[in-house]
Structures are given as C-alpha cells and as structure tokens.
Amino acid sequence: MESLGINNGTEFAPTSTYLNTASCGLLPRRAVEAVCALAVESGEGRPGGAGDFEVVDEARAAFARLVGVPDGRVATGGSVAVHAGLIAASLPSGAEVLAPEGEFASIVNPFVLRGDLKMRYAPLDELAAAVTPTTALVSFSAVQSADGRTADLPAVREAAAAHGARTLVDATQAVGWLPFDAGAYDYTVTGAFKWLLCPRGVSFLTVREEAQESLPPLHGGWLAAADTWHSTYGPLDRLAPDARRFDEPAAFLAYHGAAAALTLVEETGIDAIHAHDTALAARYRAGLAELGHTPVPGGSPIVSVPGLADRAPGLTRAGILTSARAGHLRTAFHLYNTEVDVDRILDVLSG
C-alpha cells in the first residue's frame, strides 16, 4: 500500500490493520533502525553507545519547528505527567485550576494531588465560558483522548487572556496531524509516542519566556546548568537561560528513535497529514452512518462510537487493532492507513 507518497513497505511494516494511533503510533523503519543501532553500539561498548546529546537537540529542534516556536522554548523529558507536575508545583496554595470534565488524568492528577489547589471542572464545549477572574490556570487537551473532540482553542485562549489565567494545553493527541501553534499558550505538553511516531519515553514541554522564571526546575540536575559539562559535580553556578533548565535526563534509545521519526513527519508535512487523516476519518464516519451507528461528532482522525466498546476484542481477533475508551469503540487514522483499512473495519462491523 502507499500512503501520502510513502511506501509502507519502506517506512512501515504493520502486520495488522492498525487503527490505534490514539494509543500508540507505529515506529517508522528509520526510527527502528536508529534505536537498534544505538542498542548494538551500547552492547558492544562502542564510543557512541551511551547516546548523543546532539541527537536529543535534533529532536528538540524538529519538534520546535513542527509547533512553531524557537527551540529555546522546548524542554525534553519522558512523560506528560512529569511536565504537568512541574507546572503544578509552580502554583501558589489555593490557586484555582479549571479543567474539562473527563479530562485525561495526566494533566489533572498533578494538580489534584497537590491537595491545596482548588479544582473546578466544566463541559469541554463550555470551557471558555467557565473561565473567571479567580482562575489561575486552564489545563486542557487540544483533542480529547477518549473521543477525539477538539477544543475551541481560540475561545479558551481569549477567555484566559481576558481574565489573566495561564494556559496548559496537552497536545499529545493533536501534534502530528493538526496544525498547532504552541507559542499561543503559556505551557504545552506533548507525549510524542502517538501521532509523532516516536518511541515511548519522549515528551516535550514548551514554556513561554515570561512563564519560565515562575516555573521551578525541581528536577534540575547538571543538564539544568548554563554550562552543563562544567556542572557535573556540586551545585550549579547558573541555570540555563531558556527552557533547557527544565530538561529531564534523556532516555537515549527513545530520543535517537525520535530524532529519526520526526524527520519523516517533517518531510511529509502536517498539512498533508491533516488532509489525509481527516479524509479517512470522514469516509469512516459516512460508512458508520450507513450501518446505523452515530459516532461522537467532530472532524478529527479519532473516531469514537458510543456503545460499541465491546466490539474491540472481536476486531482484534480479525486483525484490526482499535481500542475501547469510556464505553466507546475508538478508532484512529494516520499516515500509514488507507481507504482499504477504512473499508475493512466497516466490513467487519457490518457483520
């Protein structure tokens, strides 16, 4: 099969009808090769086997280009929850955090577990209207994990600005298919192992310059220093002047794979991926309607059908990988999928 001009036999090698990118994206062949090469070097004790910080910076720079910010605004890490915990630690006691009802746990729990913050929730489509002068932070996903609904990003951004609230956007289910400007928000967090096709263990945090001074580099080791190689022992003299002060120690195998995977995303282009992914989702939605099923409304490549979660195991047995979330059958279409995949799942669902 071919997808977006990419020969799947060259870049991807799925052994199933893989419609589960919202859980985990497929690794491109070039990413697999990068991980394997480093693993071999490490096992053989070669000089490059420990991993390369320059490769981490290549991944940082590629992500920065994809979300439209300078790479000095990007910190590297391993998980969205750790990044969100850093932001939670920066809030004063009693601060109000507003989140959508049913939001993904990684950008809710770090604030809840503080124990001294005021949590407030609102329906996703009423989130902008729920922002008030008492709101310190709005924490929400650009695209909902459970059902693919897309937030009204401009409305929430404008409401937060009007009331002096900061914004934290989880872009995990967006970046890689949806054009996204991370510079429009105080903080963004992105787990890169889904739509960005990176290995697990790669997560990016973006921080506006004016927000960097208020964010404590709590897990800052020697990488948080302005002069890293002269700060390996003892207290650092000076923090890195940009978001690198928030870097976690890199999982090199994951980041070597990430640097390779992100070249494919950039070569293909977000606009092209967006058009491809959403066209497949639209075809699937139309087919579902013909079968008498009503998916959650929306236009994202994540399509969730209420009441069909129990069909996921049968689809797996038929070689079609989906997921069950919040009582829905969740399907996700990405650049390695084609119309053949859409028609196959519809055929199985038709019985």
Are residues 204 and 76 part of one domain?
Answer: yes
Are residues 275 and 147 part of one domain?
Answer: no
Query: Is 313 within a domain?
Result: yes
Burial of 106 from C-beta contacts in 10 A (0-12 / 13-18 / 19+)? buried
**CATH code for position 245:** 3.40.640.10
Are residues 303 and 222 part of one domain?
Answer: no
Which residues span the domain enclosing 187? Answer: 44-267
Residue 6 has a pLDDT of: 57
pTM of the model: 0.95
CB 21 within 8 A of CB 334: yes
Residue 3 has a pLDDT of: 56
Are residues 94 and 214 part of one domain?
Answer: yes
Place 8 in a pLDDT band, splitting at 50, 70 and 90. low
Are residues 333 and 236 part of one domain?
Answer: no
Are residues 194 and 335 part of one domain?
Answer: no
pLDDT in tens, 75-98: 999 999 999 999 999 999 999 999
Q: What are phi and psi of 136, to 5 degrees?
A: -90, -35
Q: For the chain, give the mean pLDDT.
A: 95
What is the arithmetic mean of pLDDT over 145-154? 97
Report in angstroms the alpha-carbon separations of 196 from 31, 191, 205: 11, 8, 14
Higher pLDDT, 275 or 4: 275
Are residues 173 and 203 part of one domain?
Answer: yes
Are residues 302 and 180 part of one domain?
Answer: no
Query: Is 32 within a domain?
Result: no
Residue 1 has a pLDDT of: 41
> Is 306 in a helix, a strand, or coil?
strand
Query: Is 34 within a domain?
Result: no
- Structure tokens belonging to residue 266: 């950039």
Are residues 275 and 195 part of one domain?
Answer: no
Are residues 131 and 20 part of one domain?
Answer: no
Q: How many domains does the chain have?
A: 2
How many residues are recorded in the chain? 351
Query: Is 39 within a domain?
Result: no
**Among candidate residues 220, 237, 267, the one where a domain is terminated:** 267
